[in-house]
């Protein structure tokens, strides 16, 4: 597990720490002269990881600054934790992002209802949901299409099938689509 230890688990802890800040859609503000010892054997890996997360924040900054933060699942350290940030700005290409965390030492799975009310997605609209690759924080999976209000949740909901390994996270990007599948401009 990533908790404690050295080597690979140490880097997983470093990534988890950054994910718990940036994955909550906030910019980390470290108040120190250095984040890691440059002489450390893993200094280059730590720097690459920090660059990955700051690049992620810069790439999606407009959503994070203008968005409304919504807790989807209660953070109790015993089950999945889920949060979403969304903007009702209908001209925005990126309208919502959802992060899920598994803080436990066991795999967890759940169907999670995500209310898109604050994202300005009306019932019946189609949403593209893309997973971000945890190594690069870029969309690498084919987007799944969901119709708001037709997944079994409420009128403004979609339902995501979330399955996470121990001490892991998953981030999803949600974008609107028109009936023909093109992104709304």
Which helix (H) or strand (E) segment holds residue 17: the answer is: helix 8-22
CA distance 97 to 139: 12
Give the pLDDT confidence score for residue 31 in this predicted structure.
77
Q: Which residue has the higher pLDDT, 47 or 4?
A: 47
Q: Tens of pLDDT along 96-154?
A: 999 999 999 999 999 999 999 999 899 999 999 999 988 888 877 688 999 999 988 78
What would the two tokens of residue 9 be? 């688990």
For the whole model, what pTM was predicted?
A: 0.85
- What is the DSSP code string of 94-145? --EEEEEEE-SSS-EEEEEEEE-GGGT--TT-EEEEEEEPTTT-SB-SPPEE
Give the closest residue to 159 by CA, choosing from 101, 98, 102: 98
């Amino acid at each position: 597990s990533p908790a404690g230890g050295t080597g690979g688990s140490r880097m997983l802890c470093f990534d988890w720490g950054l994910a718990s800040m940036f994955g909550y859609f906030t910019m980390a503000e470290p108040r120190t002269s250095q984040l890691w010892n440059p002489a450390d054997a893993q200094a280059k890996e730590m720097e690459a990881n920090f660059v990955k997360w700051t690049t992620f924040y810069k790439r999606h900054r407009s959503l994070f600054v203008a968005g409304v933060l919504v807790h989807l699942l209660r953070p109790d350290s015993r089950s999945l934790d889920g949060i979403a940030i969304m903007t009702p700005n209908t001209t925005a290409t990126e309208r919502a992002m959802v992060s899920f965390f598994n803080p436990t030492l066991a795999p967890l799975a759940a169907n999670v209802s995500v209310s898109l009310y604050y994202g300005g997605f009306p019932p019946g609209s189609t949403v593209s949901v893309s997973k971000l690759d945890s190594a690069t924080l870029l969309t690498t999976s084919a987007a799944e299409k969901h119709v708001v209000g037709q997944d079994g949740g409420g009128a403004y909901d979609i339902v995501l099938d979330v399955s996470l390994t121990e001490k892991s996270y998953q981030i999803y990007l949600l974008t609107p689509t028109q009936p023909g599948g093109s992104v709304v401009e």
